[in-house]
Amino acid sequence: MRISDSDWPILASSDWTEHDGQVQCQANRQTWAWINVRQHVDGRTLVYSGYDYSTHFCNESDKTYRGGVMVTPTEDEYPIASRTADNDWTGERVIAAICSVGEQAIEHTECDEFWRLINECIADLPAEDLG
């Protein structure tokens, strides 16, 4: 799937990186993990994660993982009349998708840092006005 960054701005994100050594570009092992939430003005929301592990050691392999889901709001959740570039939709299904995408990443990568990334990404979502 290809998207335009300008049509699908980042709504929330979290990431984590780790490397051995003092300088990242000279690291023998390096890990990067992330969860992103992007939302189109029509309310469609992409929730996706990634994991990259690279190593320069013999008998070790690089690892890459990508996963994600698209959440489409119903008319009840996000009425067409209220859909503007300045109005974000962050229903419970978006939060559930963040949890699901993060848990799938843990299952495939065994990287427990995704638990923290799930919480940080949810916390990074726009505040909801309770009235």
Q: What is the domain extent for residue 55?
A: 10-124
Domain annotation covers residue 53:
yes
* Cα 127 from chain centre: 18
Domain annotation covers residue 3:
no
Domain annotation covers residue 99:
yes
pTM above the 0.85 mark? yes
Query: What's the confidence (pLDDT) of residue 47?
Result: 98
Overall average pLDDT of the 35-39 stretch? 97
Query: What's the confidence (pLDDT) of residue 131?
Result: 65
Total domains present in the chain: 1
Domain annotation covers residue 16:
yes
Percent of the chain residues topping a pLDDT of 90: 56
Angle among Cα 19, 23, 28 to the nearest 5 degrees reads 50
DSSP bridge pairs for 16: 33
Q: How confident is the model at residue 117 (pLDDT cuts 50, 70, 90)?
A: very high
Domain annotation covers residue 60:
yes
Domain annotation covers residue 2:
no
Q: How confident is the model at residue 54 (pLDDT cuts 50, 70, 90)?
A: confident
Instruction: Look at residue 77 and tell me whether its pLDDT is greater than 90.
Output: no
Domain annotation covers residue 1:
no
Query: What's the confidence (pLDDT) of residue 11?
Result: 95
Max CA-CA distance within the chain?
A: 59
CB-based burial label for 46 (10 Å; 0-12, 13-18, 19+) = buried
Instruction: Look at residue 19 and tell me whether its pLDDT is greater than 80.
Output: no
Higher-pLDDT residue of 86, 102: 102
Domain annotation covers residue 63:
yes
